[in-house]
Amino acid sequence: MTHPETVEFALDGSIAGQRVSASEGVPFPRFLEFNEDVQKYVQGSDERSVLRDLKVQIHEGSYLLRVLIPAGLLSSLISDTARLADPAAIGEIDPNRAKVMLRWQERARSEPSLTYAVRSPSGAFAPVIITKDSTLRREERAQWVQVERTLIGEITDWGGAQSPNIHLRPRNSRETLIVDASAEQIRAQRENLVFHKAIVHVRAKQNPRTGELKDYRLLDLRAYQPEVSDERLQALFEKGAKAWSGVPDAGAWVEDLRGGAHV
């Protein structure tokens, strides 16, 4: 490859009845998510600052990004994408790229009108089209277990006529989680929490070996209010007093744990 290789990433379809278009607009949460996913797919697990050497062009025809990859750089992207001609090969490619593909497949299933595509104008690999009917599947050898978690983060979007869900970006993270919900759960919210912090109680599946979570399902949702009420503080004081009730001298007890008095 002596010239830059062009790889196209396209988001097509409609969101909330509006056609996705580079000129007419893309909903801001989807714009952020798609651009971040393209960045992750291009970079893969390469920790070098390779993105500085890339150029990106935005073209009409859905929302289409053309990434110009210099000769000799990120050749694994081409080989990984070529492997995806076989849906069962998802487990053989870079794990970060596999996560992006599986995430797009999940989003396409939750919003059936959306289509994701990765194409090579030069024919370096066969086009990869992700729709609601895609069958990419990573072999799961681990036994996934049901867990419950309480997450705090910003809700970037919610709703959906056919498959309601909540888009949550946890604090200290750039990842956006898709949390399945019911229309009744979202309708029950008295205030619009989109672009606000919230406390989200979910049920999910966890890989005991890696700690990875997937298949989030909403249990409860409420606005994030960091202030602690006087009643809550009093309850905490009473709980602490009860826990220490059997210790006549707390200071001496702590010093004993440390190995005796310190001079």
102-115 pLDDT, tens per residue?
999 999 998 888 99
Domain that includes residue 65, residue range: 5-130
What pTM did the predictor assign? 0.53
- Identify the segments of the chain with pLDDT beneath 70: 1-3, 47-51, 53, 61, 71-74, 139-142, 209, 227-230, 232-233, 236-237, 244, 246-263
Taking residue 108's Cβ as centre, other Cβ atoms within 10 Å add up to: 20
At residue 205, the 3 state secondary structure works out as strand
Dist. CA 66–CA 166, nearest whole Å: 29
**Three-state SS annotation for 52-77:** HHCEEEEECCCEEEEEEECCCCCHHH
Residue 260 lies in a domain: no
Whole-number Å distance between alpha carbons of 32 and 34? 6
Claim to verify: residue 124 and residue 17 sit in the same structural domain: yes
Domain match, 115 and 155 both = no
161 and 115 together in one domain: no
- In one letter, which amino acid is 75? S
- 149 with 122, same domain: the answer is no
Q: What is the pLDDT of residue 71?
A: 64
Q: pLDDT (tens digit, 9 = 90+) per residue, 42-80?
A: 888 776 656 676 778 787 767 888 888 776 666 788 889
Structural domains in the chain (count): 2
CA dist list (Å): 76 to 45, 82, 199: 10, 10, 40
